[in-house]
Chains A and B, each alone.
Chain A
Amino acid sequence: MPETIQKDSLIGKRITKLDAPEKAGGKTRYIQDLDVQGQLYGKILRSTRVHAKIKSIDTSAAKALSGVHAVITAADVPWQRPIGVAKDHFPLKTDRVRSLRDEIAAVAAESEAIAEAALKLIKVEYEDLPVLSDPNDSLKPGAPLIHPEPHGASAKHDHLKQAQGIAYAGKPDNIAMTFDYQQGDVAAGERESDVVFEDTFHLHYVTHCCMGVSGIIAEFDSSGNLLMYSNTQVPFLHKREFAEILNMDPARIRIIQPPIGGGFGSKLDIYPFEPITVFLAKASGRPVKLVFTREEEFLASPTRQPVILTLRSGCKKDGTLTFRTVNTLHDNGAYTSWGATTPFVMMQTISSLYRVPHCLYHTKAVYTNNPYAGSFRGYGNLQATFAVEQHMDMMAEAVGMDPLAFRLKNAQDAGEVTPQGMHFKSCGLKECLTTAAEASGFLAKTKANAAERGKPGRFKRGIGIASMLHVGGGAKIYPSDGCGTILKMDDFGSVTLITGASEIGQGSETVLAQLVCEELGLPMSAVRVVNNDTEITPWDVGVHASRTTFIAGNSAIGAARKARGKILAAAGKMADLNPDELDLRGSHIVETKSGKVVMTLAKLLRQLHFSDKAELVMTSFYYEPPSKHQDKHFKGDVSAAYAWATQVVEVEVDTDTGIVRLLKVTGAHDVGRILNRLGLEGQIEGGIVMGQGYALTEELMVENGVVRNPGFRDYKLVTAPEIPEMDVRFIETMDGEGPQGAKGVGEAPAICIAAATANAIENATGVRIMALPFTPEKVYRALHAARKEAA
């Protein structure tokens, strides 16, 4: 036993993810690797038409195939309830299909091959309907309706027509959702303006491309309890939602999350395949496993929200912003998922990334027969930032200011409460701006590049800047934004952290373990994390909104502090010392001042457990952040803290081909405080690459409702040689509410790459492109058109 132990801290250290050895060694058992005794394999028959009435479905041949245990259509589950944000989506389609992915029937069979063969035997008769593939067309008078009448318009469903939800009530127009927000008076703002710009920006479809494709196993026990192995990001909310859809008692539903091969927001909603698998399990009386093919993943999992955004903004001669008016058209696709609600986040960027006195914001999410969008890392912020930060550059140029000075003039400060009601208790935006600009040589390069523009030469260099604001202290979108923790200590000084937080590869279990170790003076090896079983773990609203480190972190710290208090009180009693003068270090109890070791933690715990009045060290804590729900005007301080970042992107444009190469990204991120430096770097670097894909290479090509590139050959993720050099700086603003001062950063790094890249291309070529992605052909066309105009 050492005599003394000095204070040491894990905060800011580089800590390897707890699950890294298993993942790197190929030993992690994802849903794909899980099998349940007696399981059948589920497969879904999807529509071959984009928009059509279902005249008839004949499943007799499929049912007759040997090895097939269940074949179901909507007729077999008349009690199915609609899913989705607007409850406009039956898992199995009743009277019509509205997009190419639509689920018509499903099979459970003894092997995937038999299930597939059975699908081929199902005969469907369609009657085609006109296809709406452009949201503008959906708004035209006389446009065909996507949800004209109750889906189950047969007599069988009559009793449901009265109930809520578009699936029962229908929709007399194609407008799925609208958002209207106002602060100040934009007309007054415009009157004060010396410079006004109005432009329309086009944001495209991309999809998450999780390495692990979607999958689920559903199993009923003999008492009718449902167990789902599910990749959901929101297990507790889904328990309730599944209960609603399945008409079950929520208490009878248990969700276990196997290690999840990537989420990025895609697993925030319930998709038809999940209830369908449950239907199959019910129909067959056997566990059913359903895993997507990669092609299915491209066709039938959600996308990022495509947006047509018109931005009108103005400023005074001295660079003061005056107003912004935004109108967006969201292509809602055939059904409504979280994509339609991205305005919640878009509004924040528009109203509050910089100080703007007057803002008007309207969104229409419009039904089409296209794929539908879900939530995706950044949640509308990439789209809003793309427009806002291009206009910032344009206005700066128009009033003769450099892009940095113009931004600094309008940047937020700590203490600010914006007209939308967001309170920036900590705010490192100005420091992010100056740090990223200085580290990259932004101002000098901006000038030098612009001077080279007109000269001959095939390659042009450019540099561009953009900043972002995003929730970093949870987001109060539900009545609570909390998370619970249970912590128990064994006889040997090890701790089991049982948290409501979900791990989707972002490293949450590692950082939570680290925060607990920091409080209890333990090495990382002393923690086990349990975080994937609704029967065991405490409640939480799921992994989204960059909230886990902040919310679950504070919750874990709360539980650890309670355990610490119990341990030190017991140690004080045992050693006859004042507990306030004791500390936990290196798995020992020590005197705080001198570091003198009093006893090992293990010994103390054993004595506690074996004493006649056994006091097991076990604590629980629930953390609810001090944030507020938005009011009906979308005003409110929805997050307990806000994250900030500035990214500077350097590009090389090949004017012969239009190829844009990302040379370097310099990022400055206000993260509150660095907890696990390695995990943080991983998040930022991964986010930058995701932003790069959004900006340059990725595009889900949808033509007349048909996805033309459902595979990695033609859906282009960024490959290793394309990844730029990165110089990432961290700004520590020590947020007062954050766990050890930290703020959420999960979404931040992906948000401003596209905007900064747009500005960099303009700096390189003088050509501004307002539609994504910047594929070689698009850039080449833009340059070519500019050349033609010049000639």
Chain B
Amino acid sequence: MTALDNYVAPTSLEQAVVQLQELGEVTILAGGTDLMPQSHAGRVKFKRTLMNIRRIPELRGISREGDEIRIGALTTITEMMAHPLVREHLPLLAQAADHFASDQIRNAGTVGGNICNASPAGDTLVPLMVLGAHVELASKPDDTLFRRSMPLPEFFVGPGKTRLAPAELLTAVRIPIPPKGFVARFHKFGTRPALDISAISIGVAGVLKDGKLSQVRVAFGAVAPTPVCGCATEEALEGKKLDAATIAAAAKAAQDEVHPISDVRASAWYRKEMIHNMTRRILEDVSANH
């Protein structure tokens, strides 16, 4: 039995951050698709106050702000998948959403929840990382609203652990609009086509010009306590002609730089093999289609 003392449903960001500061012990509820199963399983204990953030308009909506797309924390996976700005500038996110859970979960689960839940297998995290996303955080420690932002990879500390301060709310993610020649791929590898948790996932992005990749970003999911950057793989690709030798070297680098664990979904060995094979496949696809 979870004893909740208090339930609040602020209707503005201002109100929310004030309450967060004042009430101290607060569990934030967005779509609840992580929170509820986790609390049922006894892995998460509700704090004294449950805060439903779904009535805060400032957390909704997808918009263009200068050279960036801003995706509000409460954007559902379904909304993200369908939004014209995402489809035009960030098709990678729409594609990732299309491999996310099931319709029911996508309709309830939010981007902010996916990020704050900080699962190494969270399916928006790897694509957001290779798109160079920043998270936008808000709090009100004193009289003024305090906003800060940080690159997504820095936000993650461990499974379920982030740099979110106790009285802080994630308000949005910001993603730079990709430059000309930008290519990006995301591959979610699970053992079945629907409703699966990634055994591994891979994101690759960069600018392809004259057969060469530059500004390369690589990220892997479900191979470490957090989603991680593939620095060695990036290095193997940066500035290189995307030919068979480069691809083989990059796939090898990817396999060597990840250190996954064995669990019920896959062994470490198999995960490394899949990182290798899927990285190779993604790169072959990029090279064949551009």
CB of A113 to closest CB in B, whole Å: 5
Residue B277 is within 8 A (CB to CB) of chain A in the complex? yes
Q: What 0/1 readout, one digit per residue, does chain B (1-26) give for beta carbons within 8 Å of chain A?
A: 10000000000000000000000000
Contact of B266 among A116, A721, A777 (CB under 8 A): A777
Contact yes or no, B195 A719, CB < 8 A: yes
Contact yes or no, A722 B193, CB < 8 A: yes
Most buried by B among A113, A718, A781: A781
Complex Cα distance, B1 from A659, in Å, reads 42
Q: Name which of A336-344, A370-378, A391-399, A708-716 contacts chain B.
A: A708-716
Closest chain B residue to A715 by CB distance?
B264
Q: What 0/1 readout, one digit per residue, does chain B (279-290) give for beta carbons within 8 Å of chain A?
A: 001000000000
Contact yes or no, B193 A721, CB < 8 A: yes
Contact yes or no, B273 A719, CB < 8 A: no
Contact yes or no, A714 B264, CB < 8 A: yes
Contact yes or no, B194 A719, CB < 8 A: yes
Residue B267 is within 8 A (CB to CB) of chain A in the complex? yes
Query: B194 to chain A: which residues have CB within 8 Å?
Result: 719-722
Given contacts A656-B277, A656-B281, A657-B274, contact A777 B193 (CB under 8 A): no
Residue B163 is within 8 A (CB to CB) of chain A in the complex? no
Residue A117 is within 8 A (CB to CB) of chain B in the complex? yes
Residue A279 is within 8 A (CB to CB) of chain B in the complex? no
Residue A28 is within 8 A (CB to CB) of chain B in the complex? no
Q: What 0/1 readout, one digit per residue, does chain A (204-217) give for beta carbons within 8 Å of chain B?
A: 00000000000000
Complex Cα distance, B95 from A27, in Å, reads 38
Residue A701 is within 8 A (CB to CB) of chain B in the complex? yes
Q: What 0/1 readout, one digit per residue, does chain B (165-206) give for beta carbons within 8 Å of chain A?
A: 000000000000000000000000101111111000000000
Complex Cα distance, B153 from A318, in Å, reads 67
Given contacts A777-B266, A777-B267, contact A719 B277 (CB under 8 A): no
Complex Cα distance, B265 from A701, in Å, reads 11
Closest chain A residue to B277 by CB distance?
A656
Task: List A681-716 residues whose CB lies under 8 Å from chain B.
Answer: 697, 701, 708-709, 713-714, 716
Closest chain B residue to A458 by CB distance?
B281
Q: What 0/1 readout, one digit per residue, does chain A (87-114) give for beta carbons within 8 Å of chain B?
A: 0000000000000000000000000010
Contact yes or no, B192 A714, CB < 8 A: no
Contact yes or no, A657 B277, CB < 8 A: yes
Given contacts A113-B1, A701-B264, contact A659 B270 (CB under 8 A): no
Given contacts A113-B1, A777-B270, contact A719 B192 (CB under 8 A): yes
Query: B265 to chain A: which residues have CB within 8 Å?
Result: 714
Most buried by A among B191, B193, B197, B267: B191
Query: B191 to chain A: which residues have CB within 8 Å?
Result: 659, 697, 716, 775-776
Complex Cα distance, B277 from A722, in Å, reads 23
Residue A780 is within 8 A (CB to CB) of chain B in the complex? yes
Contact yes or no, B281 A722, CB < 8 A: no
Complex Cα distance, B194 from A180, in Å, reads 45
Contact yes or no, B197 A713, CB < 8 A: yes
Contact yes or no, A716 B192, CB < 8 A: yes
CB of B129 to closest CB in A, whole Å: 23
Query: B1 to chain A: which residues have CB within 8 Å?
Result: 113, 116-117
Complex Cα distance, B281 from A262, in Å, reads 43
Complex Cα distance, B83 from A592, in Å, reads 69
Query: B196 to chain A: which residues have CB within 8 Å?
Result: 716
Given contacts A701-B264, A708-B264, A777-B267, contact A657 B189 (CB under 8 A): yes
Given contacts A713-B197, A714-B265, contact A697 B277 (CB under 8 A): no
Chain B residues with a Cβ closer than 8 Å to the other chain, count: 19
Complex Cα distance, B266 from A170, in Å, reads 41
Query: B197 to chain A: which residues have CB within 8 Å?
Result: 713
Query: A718 to chain B: which residues have CB within 8 Å?
Result: 192
CB of B174 to closest CB in A, whole Å: 32
Query: A714 to chain B: which residues have CB within 8 Å?
Result: 264-265
CB of B15 to closest CB in A, whole Å: 33
Contact of B193 among A656, A719, A775 (CB under 8 A): A719
Chain A residues with a Cβ closer than 8 Å to the other chain, count: 24
Query: B274 to chain A: which residues have CB within 8 Å?
Result: 657
CB of B66 to closest CB in A, whole Å: 40
Complex Cα distance, B267 from A714, in Å, reads 14
Complex Cα distance, B278 from A716, in Å, reads 23
Complex Cα distance, B113 from A481, in Å, reads 58
CB of B3 to closest CB in A, whole Å: 11
CB of B164 to closest CB in A, whole Å: 25
Query: A713 to chain B: which residues have CB within 8 Å?
Result: 197
Given contacts A657-B277, A780-B273, contact A722 B192 (CB under 8 A): yes
Complex Cα distance, B189 from A780, in Å, reads 14
Closest chain A residue to B265 by CB distance?
A714
CB of B279 to closest CB in A, whole Å: 11
Complex Cα distance, B278 from A775, in Å, reads 18
Query: B266 to chain A: which residues have CB within 8 Å?
Result: 777
Complex Cα distance, B70 from A232, in Å, reads 57
CB of B41 to closest CB in A, whole Å: 9
Complex Cα distance, B191 from A780, in Å, reads 12
Q: What 0/1 readout, one digit per residue, does chain A (714-730) give for beta carbons within 8 Å of chain B?
A: 10101111100000000
Complex Cα distance, B274 from A701, in Å, reads 22
Contact yes or no, B270 A697, CB < 8 A: no
Contact of A709 among B195, B264, B277 (CB under 8 A): B264
Query: A784 to chain B: which residues have CB within 8 Å?
Result: 273
CB of A274 to closest CB in B, whole Å: 26
CB of A467 to closest CB in B, whole Å: 28
Query: A720 to chain B: which residues have CB within 8 Å?
Result: 194
Task: List B214-235 residues whose CB lies under 8 Å from chain A.
Answer: none
Query: A781 to chain B: which residues have CB within 8 Å?
Result: 270
Complex Cα distance, B267 from A722, in Å, reads 23
Complex Cα distance, B260 from A282, in Å, reads 53
Closest chain B residue to A656 by CB distance?
B277
Complex Cα distance, B3 from A113, in Å, reads 12
CB of A700 to closest CB in B, whole Å: 11
Contact of B192 among A656, A697, A701, A709 (CB under 8 A): A697
Task: List A747-791 residues whose CB lies under 8 Å from chain B.
Answer: 775-777, 780-781, 784
Query: A776 to chain B: which residues have CB within 8 Å?
Result: 191, 270
Complex Cα distance, B197 from A777, in Å, reads 15
CB of A103 to closest CB in B, whole Å: 21
Query: A780 to chain B: which residues have CB within 8 Å?
Result: 270, 273
Query: B193 to chain A: which residues have CB within 8 Å?
Result: 719, 721-722
Closest chain B residue to A718 by CB distance?
B192
CB of A785 to closest CB in B, whole Å: 12
Complex Cα distance, B264 from A90, in Å, reads 32
Complex Cα distance, B270 from A777, in Å, reads 6
Most buried by A among B189, B194, B266, B273: B273
Most buried by B among A113, A720, A777, A784: A777
Query: B195 to chain A: which residues have CB within 8 Å?
Result: 719
CB of A651 to closest CB in B, whole Å: 15
Most buried by B among A113, A656, A697, A784: A656
Query: A117 to chain B: which residues have CB within 8 Å?
Result: 1
CB of A261 to closest CB in B, whole Å: 20
CB of A63 to closest CB in B, whole Å: 19
Closest chain A residue to B189 by CB distance?
A657
Query: B192 to chain A: which residues have CB within 8 Å?
Result: 697, 716, 718-719, 722
CB of B200 to closest CB in A, whole Å: 10
Query: A775 to chain B: which residues have CB within 8 Å?
Result: 191
Further 10 A-B residue pairs, CB within 8 A, beyond A716-B196, A722-B193:
A113-B1, A716-B191, A718-B192, A719-B192, A719-B193, A719-B194, A720-B194, A721-B193, A722-B192, A776-B270
**18 A-B contacts, Cβ less than 8 Å apart?**
A656-B277, A657-B277, A657-B278, A659-B191, A697-B191, A708-B264, A713-B197, A714-B264, A718-B192, A719-B195, A720-B194, A722-B192, A722-B193, A776-B191, A777-B266, A777-B267, A780-B270, A780-B273
Closest 8 CB pairs between A and B?
A: A777-B270, A719-B194, A656-B277, A721-B193, A714-B264, A776-B191, A709-B264, A708-B264
Chain B residues with CB under 8 Å of chain A are 1, 189, 191-197, 264-267, 270, 273-274, 277-278, 281
